Amino acid sequence: MDMKDLCVYCNKSTAFGLGLFVNRLPVFEDEIEGYGCAECMQLECDRCEDLIPLDEDYTLDECSPSDGAYRVHEHCLQDKEKAFFELQEMSDEEAQKTYV
């Protein structure tokens, strides 16, 4: 087994060709430098406290949530927040159609 580029949290190899390379993220914390694997880089949902897989979180800073939540799962979005993101997605799609 290749022991290069170990995840700084779980010590699994994130080297090229071993499965964890594609979703690894660079880590620069105090005295720790290296890579973190996707599993270790999951974030805690501010509403249900379950872990959110990498790149599947919604940040609510633009929605002004009433409960102070910042990062949540898609299934933890409130109705008004879902509507906000749907409108934003529609706007992005319409913008792409205009400029293509």
Q: Is the pTM of this model over 0.75?
A: no
Q: Is residue 91 part of a domain?
A: no
Q: Are residues 78 and 53 in the same domain?
A: yes
Q: Of 73, 1, 58, 6, which is closest to residue 37 (Cα–Cα)?
A: 6
93: helix, strand or coil: helix
- Structural domains in the chain (count): 2
Domain that holds residue 68: 43-84
DSSP assignment letter at 90: H
Give the C-alpha separation, 94 to 100, whole Å: 10
Q: Are residues 22 and 47 in the same domain?
A: no
Inform me whether the pLDDT recorded for 24 exceeds 60: yes
pLDDT tens for residues 66-89? 788 899 999 999 998 888 888 888
Q: Is residue 94 part of a domain?
A: no
Q: Are residues 35 and 48 in the same domain?
A: no
Q: Are residues 27 and 53 in the same domain?
A: no
Inform me whether the pLDDT recorded for 63 exceeds 80: no
Task: Decide if 25 contacts 35 (C-beta within 8 A).
Answer: yes
